Structure 1
Amino acid sequence: MSSLPDAVDVVVVGAGLAGLRAARTVARAGRSVVVCEAGDGVGGRVRTDVVDGFLVDRGFQILNTSYPALKASVDLEALDLRRFVPGAAVRDADGRLHRLADPRRVPSWAPRTALDGLLGLQDKARIAALAVRSLVVPPSRQATAPERTTAEELARWGLGGTPTDTFLRPFLSGVLGDRDLETSSRVFSLFWRSFALGDLTVPSRGIGAVPQQLAARLPAGTVLTGTPVERVAPGRVDTPRGTVRAGAVIVATEGTAAAELLDGRIPSPRTFALTTHYHVTAEPPTGQALLHLDGAGGPIVNTLVLTAAAPSYSPDHRHVVQSTVLGPDPLPDADLRRELARVWGTPAGSWDELATVRVPRALPATVPPTPEGLRHPVDLGDGLFVAGDHRDTPSTQGALVSGRRTAQEALRFLGPG
């Protein structure tokens, strides 16, 4: 383990995506930096564990290849990204399964999608119009547009009722962690743009490959794992291993932890919780890497055969199925298997339980009113700064952007040197 320095230009608290991106920005500017991480590895909420040889991400997470900050921060080719089908299968309340795909990306599915009866032709046209609008309106305008909740925005487009309840709500709930769709319409608009532009993927070695690549680009010894921070103050950070003096301190932890460390200098954000169940089966319910949604409003917001996209998640011929529910508590096993059997249309009683991952603070709630531009202040004065997806958008993009812009603010504070 690297030793704790006595003094550096910048101390970053937390080795999640925002903290690692901040440290990279500081290091590239020629300034000395150290990252103090309480855990035994980098990534924060973006990590991958190995359970009995299987890759288990800390919750179902995807990478959208359209995120500009992702392209600027990591080598996407080196991640060996595996793509999902750009669409979804929806099980309706009558037990029928509807398969829908973006006809631009999967032309062979265009007739099936056009004729499918889950949504009417007008509803499909309105959803397409939403996509067109998100593509032609610049992101800067979307982030400053008149604000309402996502539910209100969908209703304004004529998509309230059946389209929302059967398709949009289960899809967006898994993305935002927000069943009631209270999330700002500004955030929804930017997310819809990213879906229209990018591929939904996972790295072949798990989502944890992203922070590992970021950490590998830092000078040796920059990241100190197993180093929890007990207190931050202007010019110093206290840890059980000692105190580090610094010209600037960047707190890049999850929002509630940041608020606690900063003694109320920022409000503790409201957060959404997600729980992901992982199962292993020799016979997968589908061979397609297609997200399955529950259009009947059940507790499972989405489920997917991960190994259909990324066989490397399994050490052998068996398959990994992830299933996500909202909230911090897992479903009882009997209820879970009953719901899985209904959504998939096939028995799930023989599937082996692999892991259950609870993420009690998976995503910050970004509800109206939000600041124009969706960017909260990061300079708290006296050389203290804060970074994280709770300062921008609740996404990989938001975390990476926040890390970069917070580091730039800290560098301006330090001045030339």
Structure 2
Amino acid sequence: MDAEVLVVGAGLAGLRCAAELHGAGVDVRVLERADAVGGRVRTDVVDGYRCDRGFQLLNPAYPAVRRYVDLPALALRSFGAGAIVRREDGPVVVADPRREPRLLARTLRSGLLAPRELVALARWLGPTLARPHAHAGSGPGAGPDETLAASLTAAGITGPLRRELLDPFLAGVLADHGGGTSAAFARLLLRSFALGTPGVPAAGMQALPDQLAAPLGARIATGVDVDDVREEAGGVRVRAGEGTWRAEAVVVAVPGEGVSALTPLPPVATKALTTWWFDCDGPPSPLPLLVLDGRGRGPVQNALDLTAAAPSYAPAGRRLVQATTLTPAATTGEAEVRAHLADLYGTATDTWRLVVRHDVPHALPAQPPPLDARRPVALTDRLFVAGDHRDTGSIQGALVSGTRAARAVLRRLTGTPTGR
């Protein structure tokens, strides 16, 4: 198969790149190793339960999501804007009073909102809320970046709000126990949570890549494992087993850990997590909120009843609860996870049935400081790269990276300025 442009990889970045090129009239084809599109954003339907591969949420506040995704078509089911935190003396609730006014009294009684720490947090996060691009870790006006842990300590955020809420919440979001992630990146993520309420598509996270892929139709070939990309006279040759494709340009849109096999770039370090999906016959909590352990005990980093907001994730009358662990699956047993969930929810879990466990060794690219949110996407005149490892490790970063790569290709093909 020959094409004007070949995109290797049908994750979010590759699909967004191909869609941008297709919309500009370019003859583009996408080659994907897996049996379906999505990359890391996949949903397995097991016995009628929709189990995403790794706990994932879609934040409608992401600018690229608002621009490139038809959110109404996804039937996004949003969760509560807050969390249940298990403290030494029992569970407390902390919620955004703007979006969850009914939980204001419980939030004020939580014991986590010391005025001095709240003021310090506002000073730390406020500039990014007002001017995100100036505080994204790169570009004009960006200050020096450091690790999240060091930045929070330097800002005076050292009390219970940090120890029992921010640290466990961000550890789960970033798949980073030690706080070594870029503080600039963490600020951007917290900004998105402050501006939007995350949720899941009614049909599972798989609905997102499926929507991005729909306009491309037969231009996507699955089950094609590319093992070599090589520039030669007049174009680029792509080899997958016994098959060979040629194109004027190629965009390598594979995950960061595999990018070195097809480009001169080094492999990208990644973060791992495991998601456990349990069936139960009743709601473990009356509130559709994320559950965290403020005591730092047990293997479960966070837990959530998906069916509290998205009943379509389970058969009628059943509940589906996810639990995320950051410890290696080989060292964390199901009994240990069940026991911790029983403690967090204050209910027996011995009758809960494990539907499936997803071990995700490359869930997110590592994002140490300093944050570089605009890594080059053009490696040569004919070889380009896309992925969240080129921007930020998020759905936003994947969509932006795919768009940037497509526009770089268009500049190469047409010589017409098309923006960054």
Partner of 1:252: 253
Correspondence for 1:153 among 131, 151, 154: 151
Aligned to 2:388, what secondary structure does the other structure show? coil
The one-letter amino acid of 1:296's match is R
Task: Say if 1:131 and 1:196, in contact at 8 Å, map to a contact too.
Answer: no
Partner of 1:196: 194
Partner of 2:6: 11
Partner of 1:78: 73
Distance in 2, matches of 1:206 and 1:151, equals: 33
Structure 1 residues 45 and 249, CA, compared in 2 at 3 Å: closer, same or farther?
same
Partner of 1:178: 176
Task: Say if 1:54 and 1:315, in contact at 8 Å, map to a contact too.
Answer: yes
Distance in 2, matches of 1:129 and 1:350, equals: 46
Task: Say if 1:142 and 1:190, in contact at 8 Å, map to a contact too.
Answer: yes
Distance in 1, matches of 2:159 and 2:177, equals: 14
1:398 equivalenced with 2:397 (yes/no): yes
Partner of 1:345: 346
Taking the TM superposition and a 5 Å limit, the aligned residue runs for 1:17-416 are: 17-92=12-87, 94-144=88-138, 145=142, 146-218=144-216, 220-234=217-231, 235-240=236-241, 242-262=243-263, 265-298=264-297, 299-329=299-329, 331-371=332-372, 374-415=373-414
- Deviation string 1:29-53 (CA, Å, 9 cap, x unpaired) is 1110110001100001001110001
Name whichever of 161-170 and 340-349 sits farther off. 161-170
1:140 Cα shift? 3.7
Task: Say if 1:89 and 1:99, in contact at 8 Å, map to a contact too.
Answer: yes
The one-letter amino acid of 1:288's match is L
- Deviation string 1:59-85 (CA, Å, 9 cap, x unpaired) is 110011110111111100000000110
Provide the identity percentage. Answer: 47
1:152 Cα shift? 1.5
Aligned to 1:163, what secondary structure does the other structure show? helix
Distance in 1, matches of 2:136 and 2:388, equals: 18
Distance in 2, matches of 1:121 and 1:377, equals: 43
Aligned to 2:351, what secondary structure does the other structure show? coil
Distance in 2, matches of 1:210 and 1:60, equals: 15
The one-letter amino acid of 1:209's match is A
Distance in 1, matches of 2:106 and 2:283, equals: 23
The one-letter amino acid of 1:352's match is R
Task: Say if 1:328 and 1:359, in contact at 8 Å, map to a contact too.
Answer: no
1:109 Cα shift? 1.8
- Deviation string 1:365-389 (CA, Å, 9 cap, x unpaired) is 1101333xx2111111141111101
- Deviation string 1:247-295 (CA, Å, 9 cap, x unpaired) is 1111101101111222xx1121111001000000002211321000011
Distance in 2, matches of 1:98 and 1:70, equals: 32
1:137 Cα shift? 2.2
Distance in 1, matches of 2:192 and 2:61, equals: 6
Structure 1 residues 125 and 140, CA, compared in 2 at 3 Å: closer, same or farther?
closer
Moved over 4 A (4+): 128-131
Distance in 2, matches of 1:375 and 1:96, equals: 44
- Deviation string 1:282-324 (CA, Å, 9 cap, x unpaired) is 0221132100001111321100100001000012211000000
Aligned residues: 406
1:343 Cα shift? 1.1
Name whichever of 208-217 and 147-156 sits farther off. 147-156
The one-letter amino acid of 1:175's match is V
Structure 1 residues 125 and 104, CA, compared in 2 at 3 Å: closer, same or farther?
farther
Name whichever of 128-137 and 165-174 sits farther off. 128-137
Aligned to 1:64, what secondary structure does the other structure show? coil
Name whichever of 379-388 and 268-277 sits farther off. 379-388
Aligned to 1:380, what secondary structure does the other structure show? coil
Task: Say if 1:114 and 1:121, in contact at 8 Å, map to a contact too.
Answer: no
Residue ranges of structure 1 left out of the alignment (5+ in a row): none
Name whichever of 328-337 and 223-232 sits farther off. 328-337
Distance in 2, matches of 1:284 and 1:396, equals: 29
1:327 Cα shift? 4.0
Task: Say if 1:103 and 1:109, in contact at 8 Å, map to a contact too.
Answer: yes
- Deviation string 1:98-142 (CA, Å, 9 cap, x unpaired) is 101011111222232123213423223433444543321242443
1:143 Cα shift? 3.4
